[in-house]
Amino acid sequence: MPETATTHVYRHIIDYAVEDQILQELVGAQTSVLDIGTGATGRSALKARDRGAVVTSIEINVEAIFEFGDTTERQDVMLAAADLLRLPFADDCFDVVQVALHGFDYILGCTDRIRGLQEMRRVVKPGGHVVFNGFNPVGLTLAPSGYKRAMWKAQFKYLTSRRFLQPTMIDFNGLELNQAPVRVVTNQAAIAGLRRVSVRNLSGSTSDPRKVALFSKAPYYVFQRPA
């Protein structure tokens, strides 16, 4: 049986400059943050907490919850088991809703992705922000980094499998994850009632939507619920 969000324990600690850039802009002391898909390390939740935010973190994988919950680092992070598609919170609760690295890519299919976006819009306050990243098949195909010596085998496999033409891709863990061009993600969010504020590459060096759409493998999106 293939691994899914409920069976795979995410333990990777990967850091991208764009995450800190976005947190610096949106999160400060007493900002209420919902962190979705914290994994076993709690990396995204801890980033927000360390900026003084009041963080509630949810994870669908119970094993990951227990693993993170047993660490001393989780101090001051409220932790619960919950599903992104059925958020157990009242309307207008949070200033920022952030999904951990590639957490939203576990949601497959347009219907469920729009439903997830609607749920995040529902629980964020008017004027608040929703932040997540996602694999971009155009960028995965065209990004120069994919053709470097260390990456060429993975790039060759991706291209020859014709995965760039499909709505999902297979990552190095063997997980089937969503991938979508920037325009598709933006359109899905618009259907859910969210306005795109910015889309950025992982280094945070550009927010030019044309460059990001073409060359960013996994751009970060910042959306806002209209006030």
The CATH number of 17-224 is which of 3.30.420.40, 3.30.565.10, 3.40.50.150, 3.40.640.10? 3.40.50.150
pLDDT at residue 2 greater than cutoff 70:
no
Give tens-digit pLDDT for 209-227: 999 999 999 999 999 999 9
| Start-end of H helices in 161-208 | 182-191
Nearest by Cα to 94 from 130, 67, 135, 62: 130
- Give buried/exposed letters for 171-209 (b at 16+ CB in 10 A, else e): eeeebbbbbbbbebbbebbeebebebbbbbbbeeebbeb
Enter the tokens of residue 141: 């195909």
Cβ atoms of 87 and 65 within 8 Å: the answer is: no
Q: pLDDT at position 224, please?
A: 98
Q: What is the pLDDT of residues 124-148, one digit of tens each?
A: 999 999 999 999 999 999 988 878 7
More confident residue, 204 or 15: 204
**105 pLDDT higher than 60:** yes
| Region of residue 204 (phi > 0: left; psi between -120 and 50: alpha; otherwise: beta) | left
